């Protein structure tokens, strides 16, 4: 049996390199492609797994560890086998590693989750098109962005992209909020102001004149921040909950939602190929965004350091990417 190298999380916050069975063309079903992984990027949704939160497999099978290659789904790869006619062998594509196990030499993904990209972009830069596609899709769901006052709770990588996209969409003002001092990055990415505060303190001290019409919750993994977004929003405002919830049920202040006539939306990215194409067009129109956003790149044999930095970023850390193959 052919094997490949992969990184495996053997215990919380500890990766080791392992040899594991290599997927092949015979493992594909209709609509799938086999990728040689070229690069990946660390998503905030990967970090709870890195820090020891149980995966779905571990919940279903007590004692099971994280599978080789997990957690990583933001991926750039070369197509080496395909059962999707839209992708040809040799194509370089970006998107979602549908099986969440792209920390390996090869991975299988859905063709619907992938799209080509500008070949002038290196793989470790091009991988940013996946999170950009997610942000563009979320902003597309919001009415009346142009001329609005916007706030982005969380100035991690996704929050920073929201700054840029909201500004480009015509928001009258954008304020970022984060407990870490993200002033330099936040302003560079399009915010007019960055509040170095906990979201509860920021929301509690707003005057009525300063309340945003649009609030993006880009923090996740926290029950309280959604209600801080509701508290901050102006009457008839719009909240998009983009952050990933760690629990199935979140308490929501229905009095605020009702009395302020607020709209609350959330949701995963749909129409992924179309949004990846849109992200490519957006990046072509804003080429300086690449170097502002991708601040740190590690070779895959230093994945441990990459995840540690993503978990405890400095004030100058935006997106952490991984170089898997040259």
Percent of the chain predicted with pLDDT > 90: 94
- For residue 302, the model assigns a pLDDT of 97
- For residue 129, the model assigns a pLDDT of 98
Name the region of 261 (left: φ>0; alpha: ψ -120 to 50; beta: rest): left
**pLDDT tens-digit profile of 7-28?**
999 999 999 999 999 999 999 9
Asked whether the beta carbons of 39 and 126 are under 8 A apart, the reply is yes
Mean pLDDT of the residues in the chain: 95
* Confidence check: pLDDT of 62 > 70: no
Range with the poorest average pLDDT among 3-12, 46-55, 140-149: 46-55
- Six token digits for residue 48: 């709870």
- Residue 107's DSSP bridge partners are 35
Q: How confident is the model at residue 155 (pLDDT cuts 50, 70, 90)?
A: very high
- For residue 204, the model assigns a pLDDT of 96
* Confidence check: pLDDT of 217 > 60: yes
- For residue 123, the model assigns a pLDDT of 98
The SS3 call for residue 285 is helix
**pLDDT tens-digit profile of 175-216?**
999 999 999 999 999 999 999 999 999 999 999 999 999 999
**pLDDT tens-digit profile of 276-322?**
999 999 999 999 999 999 999 999 999 999 999 999 999 999 999 99
Q: What are phi and psi of 88, to 5 degrees?
A: -110, 155
CA atoms within 13 A on the CB side of 250: 19
- For residue 53, the model assigns a pLDDT of 82
Q: What is the dihedral of CA 46, 47, 49, 52, to 10 degrees?
A: 170
**pLDDT tens-digit profile of 90-135?**
999 999 999 999 999 999 999 999 999 999 999 999 999 999 999 9
Q: How far is CA 253 from the centre of its chain?
A: 27
- For residue 57, the model assigns a pLDDT of 52
Return the biggest CA–CA distance within the chain: 66
Comparing CA positions, the residue from 60, 101, 58, 105 lying closest to residue 78 is 105
Q: How confident is the model at residue 61 (pLDDT cuts 50, 70, 90)?
A: low
* Confidence check: pLDDT of 54 > 70: no
Per DSSP, the residues of 35-78 read EEEEEEE--GGGHHHHTTPPPHHHHHSTT--PPTT-SB-EEEEE
Q: Is the pTM of this model over 0.85?
A: yes
Higher pLDDT, 56 or 139: 139
The Cβ of residue 325 has, within 10 Å, a number of other Cβ atoms equal to 15
End-to-end Cα distance, the chain: 25
- For residue 56, the model assigns a pLDDT of 47
Helical axes 129-140 vs 157-168, angle rounded to 10° = 50
Distance CA 40, CA 89 (A): 20
């Amino acid at each position: 049996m052919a094997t490949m190298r992969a990184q495996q999380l053997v215990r919380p916050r500890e990766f080791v390199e392992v040899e594991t069975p290599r997927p092949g063309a015979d493992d594909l079903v209709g609509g799938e492609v086999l990728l040689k992984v070229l690069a990946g990027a660390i998503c905030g949704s990967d970090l709870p797994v890195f820090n020891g939160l149980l995966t779905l497999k571990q919940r279903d099978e007590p004692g099971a560890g994280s599978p080789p290659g997990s957690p990583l789904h933001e991926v750039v790869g070369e197509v080496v086998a395909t059962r999707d006619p839209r992708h040809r062998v040799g194509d370089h594509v970006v998107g979602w590693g549908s099986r969440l196990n792209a920390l390996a030499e090869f991975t299988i993904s859905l063709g619907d989750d992938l799209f080509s990209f500008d070949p002038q972009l290196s793989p470790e830069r091009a991988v940013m098109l996946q999170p950009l596609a997610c942000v563009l899709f979320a902003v597309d769901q919001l009415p009346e962005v142009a001329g609005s006052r916007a706030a982005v709770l969380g100035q991690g990588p996704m929050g920073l992209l929201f700054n840029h996209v909201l500004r480009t969409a015509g928001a009258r003002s954008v304020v970022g909020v984060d407990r870490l001092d993200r002033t330099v990055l936040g302003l560079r990415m399009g915010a007019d102001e960055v509040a170095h505060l906990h979201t509860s303190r920021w929301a509690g001290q707003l005057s009525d004149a300063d309340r945003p019409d649009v609030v993006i919750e880009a923090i996740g993994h926290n029950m309280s921040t959604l209600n801080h977004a509701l508290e901050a929003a102006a009457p008839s405002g719009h909240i998009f909950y983009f952050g990933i919830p760690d629990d199935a049920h979140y308490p929501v202040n229905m009095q605020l939602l009702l009395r302020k006539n607020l709209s609350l939306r959330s949701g995963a990215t749909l129409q992924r190929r179309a949004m990846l194409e849109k992200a490519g067009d957006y990046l072509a129109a804003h080429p300086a965004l690449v170097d502002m956003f991708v601040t740190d790149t590690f070779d895959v044999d230093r994945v441990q350091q990459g995840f540690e930095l993503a978990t405890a970023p400095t004030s100058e850390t935006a997106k952490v990417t991984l170089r898997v193959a040259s």
